[in-house]
Amino acid sequence: MAVKKRAEEQAGVSELLGNSTPAARIRELIEEDRVAQARALLTEALEVNPQDTELHSLHEVLKLPRARPRQITDSDRTQEFEWIRANRDAYRGRWIAIQGGELVADAASFAELQSRIKDLKSVPLVHRID
């Protein structure tokens, strides 16, 4: 099986097609986790038939993901974690909301804590202390 797979990979892209339609063979390659060969066959098939909507759909599925830079940065929660270390024993089994190293609210349930902090302008660190 591995020898056949290697021989098929070394063969030209057009030979990957066999008796199948390009779209059907591309789907087979995807199911076999042979995405690189599926992409190569798709590129060749689109050159031959650029109007094929099924091939364009497969192109959307197989295109490489794009990473987009974000300007959002995470908050420094050092003060909040220091507060938890210093005060965790007094709040075991409770939900807490901490902001800037100060306790904003605590409650027995998450729903109760949410109702207490819903009107805050900034987002506190919410944590359940076990």
Eight-state DSSP code of residue 66 = -
Domain that residue 13 falls in: 2-62
Residue 8 shares a structural domain with residue 35: yes
Dihedral sign of CA atoms 36, 37, 39, 43 in order: positive
Instruction: Say whether both 56 and 107 belong to one domain.
Output: no
CA pair distance 115, 126, nearest whole angstrom: 13
pLDDT at 75: 81
pTM above 0.85, yes or no: no
Question: How many structural domains compose the chain?
Answer: 2
Shared domain check, 58 and 82: no
Final residue of a domain: which of 31, 62, 93?
A: 62
Mean pLDDT, each 10-residue run in order, the chain (130 residues): 46 59 93 93 92 94 86 84 95 95 95 94 93
Let me know if residue 69 belongs to a domain. no
